[in-house]
Structure 1
Amino acid sequence: MKIAFLVRDLCHMGGVVSATQNLAGALAEKHQVEIVALRKVRDESYFPLDPRVSVRVLSDLRPHSPVSDLDDPLVEKFPLVYHPNAGAKKPVVSRLAELRLLEYLATTDADVVVSSSPRNTIMLAHAQGSYLKVAQEHSMPSIYAHDIKPRLFKAYLSLDALTALTPEEVVSIGRQVPAVRDRLAAMPNCVPAAPVRSRGTNKVVISAGHLSDNKNHVLLVEAFAKIHSQAPDWTLRIYGDGAEKGKLKARINELGLSNSILLMGQVAPVSPEFGKASIFVLPSKREAFGNVLVEAMAAGLPVVSTDADHGPRNILTDGEDGLIVPRGDVDAMAQAILRLIRDDELRAKMSDNGVRNAERFHETASRERFEAILERAFARKALPQHATARVDTSGSVHIGVGPLPEQARGAELALRRGGKNAEERRFPLSADGEALVPWDAALTHGTWETFLVTPSGAEVPLTTDGYGCDTRDLLAVELPRAGAHPLALLLPHRHDDGRLRVRSSLREAHAEVGPVQVDKEAIRISAQVWGAALGAGAAVEAVHRRDKERVLTFPAQADGDGTVRVSIDCKALVDQHTDEEDKEVIWDLWLRPAGGAPRVALAKLATDVLKTTDVFTFPRPVITEPAAATPSVVSRAVRKARRTLGATPQAPRRKKTELRPYFTVLHQFAVKTVRM
């Protein structure tokens, strides 16, 4: 198998570059692997790269390079697809690199193309290749800038697989982009075995990372100040560089610890330095994974780490190979470090456990984990994913995906409804790839997503096109139904994302809104009542959207055929829109079929119209309230003063209120009053 990794470049120090190179090297044991870099600005990477991995550079920005692209005018141009860095005056990735990447993606013979950054993921989704498209999230999309999130989340929909560093982040991404939950998997970073192992005898505590606010080395300095008074012969070494360096140095000097806390600067690779220490500390506020934790464990260092989301708790086992302390707690961190300083036996035990536990992130385990993800993605890609849906005259839905391949025999159609009370229902697929969803399957009211699920557990969401849903016979379905649910109607439809969904309208009692007449005097509504007996005291209640205790009641007239009619007084609604309220007030309309009976929503559900809000529109009368008949003493005085000054008398101000009858997104009839 040929696997290509897309990176911006290999010319900076960072966990993403390290993890990508490590995984590429691990996969090179069994596969042909290349790294495609959009640019190159220095001769060598900071991290070792397996010689079996080839590197393809798309734009060479080294002045001394014989193949330098610096004289190409497109180097100064911003890209059109690749998302630019906010506020950048010059492109980090140029239009030249973008065009070459698009050409590569259109012509590559790779079986799998893997993106390791959000911007490359957008580019990968834009490509038309038939290869497997995979993205690895090395951070937390929830914290990404708002300008990139919409494009990135849309790009996810075009991927065959998407990985995150921890199970928590898998859940988080699935919550943000529910449509990709079926292709998400946890994939920790690949971290090789340590080249040097600590003997655990040097009185040195070590930390490493970018000196930024998030890495929070200030916390470690404060903690070590407490430690120093009890263990003055121990030193702290902090490796890294960044914006917080000056602040750290100043605080170290204030504490008088310049001989005990050493800022070692940036070292690459840093893992050989771990052999000189006996304890490793990670003080981060947030940590998506934490390569250095695994590197420290592999080097035989017991670890003290903050409980930063979400990496440390997925790497360390508290009390076994390290100690996890609350974020931001200086005292807890100092006590944990002191505990390890004072207990040689505990350090030795955690050292052995850490070396053993780190193996699950080494090359072999990482390769096998990633291969399993690819295997599942290939299996999904081979499954039928396009579906058609047809409603018959009874209202049942026939969903077809075409003949099933051998590996999909025995597959089922899964319908899933999200939300707080999520549900799943399954229906068998025939060998011809057709499933029947009966109208009386009693699917809970709401919208259901459709999936094809194989006996082995592989699954794909089903898509459809503009011709894929035949709902002609839906209009011929006779309602109400006999039985417990007089309203039971299934509406298959194509969602905005191209997915096939089924809307289930299921009600034990329902008031289906019919003709509506609107003028300045009243909103006259006729509705069919199903599953509820009309009786004395029948009324329609207008309930204030924000203050449910505010209810206006309008008597309803019941006809003998189950029809109810009501006249909503426009002036009554306007009078209830007080000056103290917002510009807009919404009243939701409910029917009480009889005095004391439970409310039934007045709604439009027995229809093939998916978005009633957009389709059923009504006149919007404007009610003008007359001016006050008797001016107040103050208003008369003001008018007299204006006449004395020669000003034109002001006409009494009249209030205008527009009434907007409409169906809500939940298809319930409502009236909005708007002050103009």
Structure 2
Amino acid sequence: MTGTAGVPSSTQADGADATEDTAGGRHVAFFTPAPDFGGAQRVTVNIANSLATRGHDVDLVAGHLEGEFVSLIGDRVNTVELAVPEVPGAGILAGVPRLVSYLDDHRPDVLFASRTHTNLAAVAAGRLTDADVHVAITEHSPFTHLPTRKDRVTAALASQVYPYADDVIGVSEGVAKTVIEGTGLSPDGTTVLNNPIDIAAIQSGATEPVEETWLDDPAIEPIVAVGRLKPMKDFSTLVRAFAELHERRPETRLVIVGKGTERDRLAALTADLGVADAVTFTGYTDNPYAYMARASVFALSSKVEGLPTVLIEALACGCTIVSTDCQYGPREILEDGRYGRLTPVGDAEAMAETIGEALDDPTPSERCRERAQHFSMSAGADRYEAYVETVVGD
């Protein structure tokens, strides 16, 4: 249900007052710039839906209510659009006054935020509001990956602001460790909560058809990758690895699912390497699982991650996985290689060799699906509920 654009507002499902608990549940708010494309935003929507289904009063508070994931927000979730004004250089931080107004008016028990700029806004609003709200901010990426001056300035600001949060959540042990090291926070001020996934929805989506019907040809060995086409994901290493592999195994095809700034450069690279006819760029789809389910191997080539949701989703689809052993997340998800193969970051030759080994000796699908259960929405909602009860109390 959608609040009025331009001012903080919320419409409660079933007509109850937005500030009241439902069926003894807690009032929980999730703050996001917009439920747009990306793993962190999808996770936010999934958790909000799950907690609302369990009877909690859940608000999804967005700077702007737009993006690919709006349609995934459940009917039981209250949506609040702050309509953050455009202030050059400020981004979501321009929404702090309106977020403060939301907190003053609706007084949730807990405010969750994720991604650094959003976290900074949430902490500022938490300090300015009169409401007694527990502000829990979440980092999805390690603080060790700061490739630009802007990233370093943001991290320096976070190191000054994060200690004022009530809690800092890392989506993996590795991410939590880097936040502690990068901000000087005490380990007692951090919590690890893995990202959950909606396994039922993923496995349902996996049965859907795809436009590329040739993917159902048993003579073809599809290598599938999913993610934003940006430098950090290092799809260029995957393309180079595929070119080596394809020379030895011409039945292989590479399917890259996603959109981003690297699209044209990657397409040019496939042409330079002579594999353009064997590589498909699908663009964005809200159902990447139909492609994952058809993968002979699912590949992740990232230079750095936090807890890559796509790896967990691939496990739920029963995929044989090859991933770079990047910091952080893949080794944690795959349990040191038990549920998928790990290969060095940026090494196309090693990745090509490892994908070939995976094609010859695939991981049993049921073993992968069993591992995915650790990250199920049910398990994740249990962890989030336990967290909320711990910090809110009676």
TM-score (norm 2): 0.81
- Superposition map of 1:288-367 within 5 A: 288-343=306-361, 346-347=362-363, 349=364, 351-367=365-381
- Superposition map of 1:134-533 within 5 A: 134-143=136-145, 145-193=151-199, 194=202, 195-197=204-206, 203-343=221-361, 346-347=362-363, 349=364, 351-378=365-392
- 2: CA distance between counterparts of 1:185 and 1:200? 46
Unaligned runs of 5+ in 1: 61-74, 79-83, 86-91, 383-676
Q: 1:329 to 1:108 in 2, by over 3 A?
A: same
- The letter of the residue matching 2:226 is A
Per-residue CA deviation, residues 155-179 of structure 1 (Å, 9 max, x unaligned), is 3222222110111222222223344
Per-residue CA deviation, residues 572-591 of structure 1 (Å, 9 max, x unaligned), is xxxxxxxxxxxxxxxxxxxx
How far the C-alpha of 1:197 sits from its partner, in A, is 4.4
- 1: CA distance between counterparts of 2:175 and 2:145? 12
- 2: CA distance between counterparts of 1:222 and 1:376? 48
- Superposition map of 1:646-665 within 5 A: none
- The letter of the residue matching 2:195 is N
Q: Secondary structure at the match of 1:185?
A: strand
How far the C-alpha of 1:46 sits from its partner, in A, is 6.0
Aligned equivalent of 2:64, options 39, 43, 46: 39
**Could you tell me whether the CA contact under 8 Å between 1:196 and 1:275 is conserved in 2?**
no
**2:20 is matched with which residue?**
none
Which is richer in strand? 1
Q: 1:267 to 1:210 in 2, by over 3 A?
A: same
How far the C-alpha of 1:124 sits from its partner, in A, is 2.6
**Could you tell me whether the CA contact under 8 Å between 2:109 and 2:392 is conserved in 1?**
no
Identical counterparts, % of pairs = 27
How far the C-alpha of 1:275 sits from its partner, in A, is 2.0
**Could you tell me whether the CA contact under 8 Å between 1:166 and 1:311 is conserved in 2?**
yes
- 1: CA distance between counterparts of 2:217 and 2:71? 26
- 1: CA distance between counterparts of 2:184 and 2:272? 50
Per-residue CA deviation, residues 115-174 of structure 1 (Å, 9 max, x unaligned), is 123233223323332121111111223445233334323332222221101112222222
How far the C-alpha of 1:112 sits from its partner, in A, is 0.9
**Could you tell me whether the CA contact under 8 Å between 1:37 and 1:57 is conserved in 2?**
yes
- 1: CA distance between counterparts of 2:271 and 2:155? 42
Q: Secondary structure at the match of 2:53?
A: coil
Per-residue CA deviation, residues 423-479 of structure 1 (Å, 9 max, x unaligned), is xxxxxxxxxxxxxxxxxxxxxxxxxxxxxxxxxxxxxxxxxxxxxxxxxxxxxxxxx
Does residue 113 of the first structure (1) align with residue 138 of the second (2)?
Answer: no
How far the C-alpha of 1:289 sits from its partner, in A, is 1.3
Per-residue CA deviation, residues 557-602 of structure 1 (Å, 9 max, x unaligned), is xxxxxxxxxxxxxxxxxxxxxxxxxxxxxxxxxxxxxxxxxxxxxx
- 1: CA distance between counterparts of 2:185 and 2:319? 41
- 2: CA distance between counterparts of 1:365 and 1:163? 17
**Could you tell me whether the CA contact under 8 Å between 1:25 and 1:52 is conserved in 2?**
yes
Aligned equivalent of 1:13, options 13, 26, 37: 37
Q: 1:143 to 1:284 in 2, by over 3 A?
A: closer
Q: 1:279 to 1:307 in 2, by over 3 A?
A: same
Larger-gyration structure (1/2): 1
Per-residue CA deviation, residues 389-409 of structure 1 (Å, 9 max, x unaligned), is xxxxxxxxxxxxxxxxxxxxx
Instruction: Tell me the number of residue pairs that the alignment of Structure 1 and Structure 2 aligns.
Output: 348
**Could you tell me whether the CA contact under 8 Å between 1:5 and 1:35 is conserved in 2?**
yes
- Cα RMSD, aligned residues only: 2.4
- 1: CA distance between counterparts of 2:269 and 2:76? 46
Q: 1:166 to 1:232 in 2, by over 3 A?
A: same
**2:27 is matched with which residue?**
2
- 2: CA distance between counterparts of 1:337 and 1:217? 15
Q: 1:165 to 1:41 in 2, by over 3 A?
A: closer
**Could you tell me whether the CA contact under 8 Å between 2:318 and 2:366 is conserved in 1?**
yes
Q: Secondary structure at the match of 2:266?
A: helix
- 2: CA distance between counterparts of 1:46 and 1:209? 19
- 1: CA distance between counterparts of 2:197 and 2:217? 21
- 2: CA distance between counterparts of 1:76 and 1:152? 22
**1:26 is matched with which residue?**
50
Q: Secondary structure at the match of 1:301?
A: coil
- 1: CA distance between counterparts of 2:367 and 2:249? 25
**Could you tell me whether the CA contact under 8 Å between 1:170 and 1:184 is conserved in 2?**
yes
How far the C-alpha of 1:76 sits from its partner, in A, is 4.6
- The letter of the residue matching 2:183 is V
Q: 1:230 to 1:20 in 2, by over 3 A?
A: same
TM-score (norm 1): 0.49
- The letter of the residue matching 1:164 is G
Q: Secondary structure at the match of 1:148?
A: helix
Unaligned runs of 5+ in 2: 1-25, 208-215
**Could you tell me whether the CA contact under 8 Å between 2:93 and 2:120 is conserved in 1?**
no
**Could you tell me whether the CA contact under 8 Å between 1:303 and 1:322 is conserved in 2?**
yes
- 1: CA distance between counterparts of 2:239 and 2:313? 22
- 2: CA distance between counterparts of 1:265 and 1:150? 35
- Superposition map of 1:80-91 within 5 A: 84=89
Q: 1:238 to 1:47 in 2, by over 3 A?
A: farther
- The letter of the residue matching 2:58 is V
How far the C-alpha of 1:77 sits from its partner, in A, is 4.2
Which is richer in helix? 2
Per-residue CA deviation, residues 56-79 of structure 1 (Å, 9 max, x unaligned), is 11118xxxxxxxxxxxxxx3545x
Per-residue CA deviation, residues 474-509 of structure 1 (Å, 9 max, x unaligned), is xxxxxxxxxxxxxxxxxxxxxxxxxxxxxxxxxxxx
**Could you tell me whether the CA contact under 8 Å between 2:107 and 2:132 is conserved in 1?**
no
How far the C-alpha of 1:227 sits from its partner, in A, is 1.2
How far the C-alpha of 1:94 sits from its partner, in A, is 7.8
**Could you tell me whether the CA contact under 8 Å between 2:235 and 2:266 is conserved in 1?**
yes
- The letter of the residue matching 1:137 is E
- 2: CA distance between counterparts of 1:208 and 1:316? 17
- Larger relative contact order (Cα-Cα within 8 Å, sequence gap ≥ 6): 2
- The letter of the residue matching 2:61 is V
- 1: CA distance between counterparts of 2:52 and 2:372? 21
- Superposition map of 1:606-645 within 5 A: none
Q: 1:41 to 1:168 in 2, by over 3 A?
A: closer
